[in-house]
Amino acid sequence: MSDGRVSTWARKGVVAVLLVIVVPLALLALIEGSASAWLMAADIRSIKADSNFRRAQYDTLVGWIGTPDLHVTEGAPRSVPITNNHDGMRIAHPVTPALAHSRHRLICSGDSFTFGSGVGDTDTFCAQLESVLPNVETLNMAQRGFGIDQAYLWYKRDAVRWPHQVHLFAFISNDFERMTMTTMTGYSKPVLRLANGALEVGNTPPPKWKGSSKGSYVLRLMPRLRIVQLLQGTTDNSDSAQMARAEHSIWDVAEAVFRDLDRLNHERGSQVVLVYLPTTADMMPGAYDARRARLAAFASKAGIPLVDLTAEMRTVPPDSSQWFFITNSELTSQGASGHYTPKGHRWVAEAIARQLARVPSVSAALALSAAERRR
């Protein structure tokens, strides 16, 4: 067979491979990519971003705090009231810095789980503690989207005006990762860092924001694109790997925050209690357990009371615990999915009260009776 005939057969073979294998694969990739882009475009078109779904105003230190003197209702068909006092705290009844005789005050710091996304003013676990603990008034100093850094900074600056005996500093696992961010869904925020062992505030004052925008939601949809998923597949994005990367940069900062909260509370005649709030991701053993163990070891060494509700919540039968969390079909406000239902908040309030009663410094500060300590 001559070289010319071999060359012709080779060219025909290449063409056959292109027609039978390469072209169909290319068309399949084109169709798949187009479908992915079309579905994402449909999601983008469906976005109706609230210009300020946090019901917040810009703050030069923490990024945002609750809009003062606010009273609105969210959701349909079941509406829930959102009420802020003059200081932007979620409180539905009048309060004054001065405490009545024989009354005690407890401040709740935290994020949307403590704020109570998706539930009414009196449904939050912070508000329900008033009915669980005798002669106790609570102040809800939590904000949607807060990280550990912002909750700490707001308490440090503004809580001094409100004499209190106990400070619940509550957080979920994701609040550690939020400490690495300079924005949160379009809202600018500060960052904390350690310099020669001391806490310093960076990115302050945070750039002014106009509230959540459609662009911030588009960025959250990017992982749905196949090409993004392909690129992510080249790195380890497991929960444990992501936590390891975050903790490398922020764990020492978090410990410094907890120690400074302990110092601040002692100066203000209060007892701080760290509260780990479980989310749906904590309901089964997993990567977050290592973080919880590290947190428990730190709290024990530092002598700071820690209330971790995870183990107790895991003992609740699944057919009951599933009612603790808001589902997509029960949404009453933007971003409420996965947060506690009113029933979940009630369970959390009762569980916190039981554990607080077992902490000598807390039971003494709140003048809890022997019967309450035995609950």
Per-residue confidence (pLDDT) for residue 188, from 0 to 100 = 94
- Lookup: tokens for 92: 């539905």
Q: Which residues contact 346 (CB under 8 A, 6 or more apart)?
A: 123, 125, 128
Is-contact 362 271, C-beta < 8 A? yes
Q: What is the pLDDT along the chain (375 residues), one digit of tens a residue?
A: 455 565 677 676 666 666 667 566 667 666 766 666 666 555 545 545 555 778 899 999 999 999 999 999 987 667 899 999 999 999 999 999 998 888 999 999 999 999 999 999 999 999 999 999 999 999 999 999 999 999 999 999 999 999 999 999 999 999 999 999 999 988 999 999 999 989 999 999 999 987 555 555 555 555 655 555 555 555 545 555 565 666 677 999 999 999 999 999 999 999 999 999 999 999 999 999 999 999 999 999 999 999 999 999 999 988 777 789 998 766 666 678 899 999 999 999 999 999 999 999 999 999 875 545 455
Model pLDDT, residue 74? 85
Instruction: Return the pLDDT at 333.
Output: 65
- End-to-end Cα distance, the chain: 96
pLDDT of residue 241: 55
Kindly state the helix (H) or strand (E) to which residue 276 belongs, with its residue range.
Answer: strand 271-276
Alpha carbon distance 309, 354 (integer Å): 11
What pLDDT shows up at residue 21? 73
Token representation of residue 254: 């978090």
The single residue listed with the structure tokens 């019967």 is 371
Half-sphere exposure of 325 (CA within 13 A, CB side): 18
pLDDT at 18: 60
Dihedral over Cα of 29, 30, 36, 39: its sign:
negative
3-class SS letters over 132-164 = HCCCEEEEEEECCCCCHHHHHHHHHHHHHHCCC
pLDDT of residue 27: 73
Chain centroid, CA 22 distance in Å = 47
Count of CB atoms situated within 10 Å of the CB of 231: 10
Residue 140's pLDDT is: 98
Q: What CA–CA distances, in Å, run from 92 to 74, 83, 132, 140, 201? A: 15, 5, 17, 10, 32
- What pLDDT sits at residue 52? 73
